[in-house]
């Protein structure tokens, strides 16, 4: 019988999770044009879901300088958390910037979830800082249990530094409390 150490098991699980995450976080499409269309469709669908859940958000979006919408796959494995995703930022003049997102964290958690994050920027400076610098660091705690049409999703609204942020859990199961470092950056392939 082969003995596998707990370190080897965790390493294997981490590699497997990163593989799953990489597959979940990839923009659909075979070429840049198809990928751009997929990102725009994701954005439109996320905003429709947000307006159904939080009707007052539409007025905030309409009055905002800009928005950014991201699709993110998140994997939590005991003491580590990894996320990856893609999105689009759009200012009130219609200029679009395609973006990517990567995140790593440390904390307790288990599960996989699919999240849509909507940023509403109340000022030009907040929007431009996000698009050009895109860093976020903070603590995060949530609970989500949803599979298809079954279950419940706990999402929230947070207002910080000239922006309002909403999160919608599309599908998945997670329980987590982590400290995360997140990087949002321009997508060189799609811009």
Q: Could you report the per-residue pLDDT of 84-116, keeping only the tens digit for each?
A: 899 999 999 999 999 998 877 776 666 667 888
CA atoms within 13 A on the CB side of 37: 6
What pLDDT, on the 0 to 100 scale, is given for residue 182? 78
191 falls within a domain: no
Rounded CA-CA distance 182/81 in Å is: 11
Q: Which residues pair with 107 in a beta bridge?
A: 178
Mean pLDDT value across residues 124-144: 70
d(CA 70, CA 40): 10
**DSSP-assigned states of every residue in 118-180:** EEEESSHHHHHHHHHT-EEEEEEEEEEEEETTEEE----EEEETTEEEEEEEEEEEEEEEEEE
Residue 1 belongs to some domain of the structure: no
140/156 Cα distance (integer angstroms): 11
Q: How far apart are CA 18 and CA 12, in angstroms?
A: 10
Provide the terminal-to-terminal Cα distance of the chain, rounded to the nearest Å.
53
What's the confidence (pLDDT) of residue 108?
A: 64
Structure tokens at 74: 């998140």
Residue of 3 and 30 predicted with greater confidence: 30
Domain that includes residue 134, residue range: 6-186
The pLDDT value recorded for residue 149 is 47
pTM of the full predicted structure? Answer: 0.72
> Helix %, strand %, coil % for the chain, to 5?
30, 50, 20
Residue-averaged pLDDT of the chain: 74
pLDDT at 167 over 70: yes
- Tell me whether residue 63 is in a domain: yes
Q: Is the pLDDT of residue 59 over 80?
A: yes
Residue 186 and residue 191: Cα distance in Å, rounded? 8
The pLDDT of residue 34: 94
State mean pLDDT over 11-39.
65
When divided into structural domains, the chain yields a total of 1
């Amino acid at each position: 019988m082969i003995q596998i150490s707990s370190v080897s098991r965790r390493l294997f699980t981490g590699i497997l999770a990163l593989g799953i995450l990489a597959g979940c976080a990839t923009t659909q499409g075979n070429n840049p044009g198809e990928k751009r269309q997929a990102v725009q469709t994701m954005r439109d669908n996320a905003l429709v879901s947000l307006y159904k859940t939080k009707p007052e958000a539409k007025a905030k979006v309409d009055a905002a300088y800009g928005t950014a919408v991201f699709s993110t796959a998140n994997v939590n494995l005991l003491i580590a958390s990894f996320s990856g995703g893609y999105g689009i930022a759009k200012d009130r003049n219609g200029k679009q910037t395609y973006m990517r997102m990567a995140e790593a964290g440390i904390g307790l958690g288990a599960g996989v979830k699919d999240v849509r994050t909507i940023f509403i920027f109340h000022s030009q400076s907040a929007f431009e800082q996000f698009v050009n610098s895109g860093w976020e660091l903070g603590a995060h705690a949530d609970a989500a249990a949803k599979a298809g049409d079954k279950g419940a999703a706990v999402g929230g609204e947070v207002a910080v530094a000239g922006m309002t942020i909403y999160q919608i859990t599309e599908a998945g199961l997670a329980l987590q409390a982590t400290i995360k470092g997140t990087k949002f950056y321009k997508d060189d392939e799609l811009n």
